[in-house]
Amino acid sequence: MTKYQRVPGTRDIFGPDMQRFNAVTQVFCRVGCRFGFEEVATPLFEDTAVFAKSLGEATDVVGKEMYTFDDRGGDSITLRPEYTAGIARAYLSNGWQQHIPLKLMAYGAMFRYERPQKGRFRQFHQIDAEILGTPEPQADVELISFAAMLLDELGLGDKVVLNLNTLGDGESRSAYRSSLVAYFTAHKASLSSDSLDRLEKNPLRILDSKDLGDQALVMDAPIIDSSLSQTAGVFFERLTQALDALNIQYVRNPRLVRGLDYYSHTAFEFITTHLGAQGTVIGGGRYDGLIEQMGGSHTPSVGWAGGIERLAMLIEEPAMVSDSIVMVPTGEAAMLAAFGVVQSLRKAGFRVEQGFSGNLKKRMAKANAMNAKVALILGDSELEQGVIAVKDLSTAEQKLVRLSELETALSTYR
RNA sequence: GCGGUUGUAGCUCAAUUGGUUAGAGCGCUGGUUUGUGGUACCAGAGGUUGCGGGUUCAAUCCCCGUCAUCCGCCCCA
Which CATH number characterizes residue A396's domain? 3.40.50.800
Q: Would you say A102 and A273 are in contact if contact means Cβ atoms under 8 Å apart? A: no
pLDDT at position A348 is 94
How would residue A1 be classed by pLDDT, with cut points 50, 70 and 90? very low
Q: Which residue is closest, via its CA, to the C1' of B9?
A: A1
Residues A242 and A390 placed together within one structural domain of the fold? no
Report pLDDT digits (tens) over A214-261.
888 998 899 899 899 999 999 999 999 999 999 999 999 988 887 777
The amino acid sitting at A370 is M
Asked whether residue A154 is domain-assigned, the answer is yes
Residues A273 and A368 placed together within one structural domain of the fold? no
Among residues A250, A283, A314, the one where a domain terminates is A314
Asked whether residue A122 is domain-assigned, the answer is yes
Integer distance in angstroms from CA A67 to C1' B28? 41
In the predicted model, what is the mean pLDDT of residues A35-49? Answer: 97
**Other beta carbons less than 10 A from residue A20's beta carbon:** 20
Map residue A373 onto helix, strand or coil. coil
Asked whether residue A398 is domain-assigned, the answer is yes
How would residue A2 be classed by pLDDT, with cut points 50, 70 and 90? very low
pLDDT at position A395 is 87
In the predicted model, what is the mean pLDDT of residues A334-343? Answer: 92
Task: Give the separation between CA A315 and CA A23, rounded to whole angstroms.
Answer: 9
How many structural domains is chain A composed of?
A: 2
Question: Measuring from the CA of residue A277 to each C1', which nucleotide is nearest?
Answer: B72
Nearest to A160 by CA among A274, A271, A306: A271
List Cα–Cα distances, A76 to A36, A54, A55, A312, A389, in angstroms. 36, 16, 17, 34, 63
Q: Which nucleotides of B are covered by protein (CB under 7 A)?
A: 1-3, 28, 30-31, 35-38, 48, 50-51, 67-77
- Strand intervals (E) in A217-279: 251-252, 264-272
Residues A27 and A157 placed together within one structural domain of the fold? yes
Integer distance in angstroms from CA A278 to C1' B12? 26
Residues A256 and A300 placed together within one structural domain of the fold? yes
The better pLDDT of the pair A186, A261 is held by A186
| Range of the structural domain that residue A101 is part of | 16-169+229-314
In the predicted model, what is the mean pLDDT of residues A361-380? Answer: 88
Among residues A268, A284, A314, the one where a domain terminates is A314
In the predicted model, what is the mean pLDDT of residues A326-333? Answer: 88
List Cα–Cα distances, A173 to A45, A168, A225, A253, A312, in angstroms. 31, 6, 10, 16, 35
How would residue A64 be classed by pLDDT, with cut points 50, 70 and 90? confident
List Cα–Cα distances, A32 to A29, A241, A391, in angstroms. 5, 23, 42
Render the burial of A76-102: b for 16+ CB within 10 Å, e for the rest: ebbbbbbbbbbbbbbbbeeebeeeebb
Residues A304 and A348 placed together within one structural domain of the fold? no
Averaged pLDDT score across all residues of chain A: 91
Integer distance in angstroms from CA A63 to C1' B1? 12
Q: How far is CA A65 from the centre of its chain?
A: 20
Q: Would you say A227 and A175 are in contact if contact means Cβ atoms under 8 Å apart? A: yes
Task: Give the separation between CA A144 and CA A242, rounded to whole angstroms.
Answer: 11
User: Is the predicted pLDDT of residue A85 greater than 50, yes or no?
Assistant: yes
Asked whether residue A341 is domain-assigned, the answer is yes
Asked whether residue A320 is domain-assigned, the answer is no
In the predicted model, what is the mean pLDDT of residues A52-73? Answer: 87
Report pLDDT digits (tens) over A264-320.
899 999 999 888 777 899 999 999 989 999 999 999 999 999 999 999 999 987 776
Q: What is the DSSP string of A131-189?
A: EES--SHHHHHHHHHHHHHHHHHTT-TTTEEEEEEE---HHHHHHHHHHHHHHHHHTGG
Predicted complex: ipTM over 0.90: no
Least confident piece of the model among A76-85, A104-113, A356-365: A356-365
Report pLDDT digits (tens) over A145-162.
999 999 999 999 989 999
Asked whether residue A2 is domain-assigned, the answer is no
Residues A104 and A252 placed together within one structural domain of the fold? yes
Integer distance in angstroms from CA A262 to C1' B10? 48
Among residues A258, A287, A314, the one where a domain terminates is A314
Which CATH number characterizes residue A28's domain? 3.30.930.10
List Cα–Cα distances, A388 to A56, A260, A341, A403, in angstroms. 68, 64, 10, 6
Q: Would you say A272 and A71 are in contact if contact means Cβ atoms under 8 Å apart? A: no
pLDDT at position A3 is 61
Task: Give the separation between CA A109 and CA A150, rounded to whole angstroms.
Answer: 20
Look at the alpha carbons of A367, A316, A280, A152 in this order and tell me if their dihedral is positive or negative: positive
pLDDT at position A200 is 83
Question: Measuring from the CA of residue A260 to each C1', which nucleotide is nearest?
Answer: B76
Asked whether residue A3 is domain-assigned, the answer is no
Integer distance in angstroms from CA A255 to C1' B30? 65
Beta bridge partners of A90: none
How would residue A37 be classed by pLDDT, with cut points 50, 70 and 90? very high
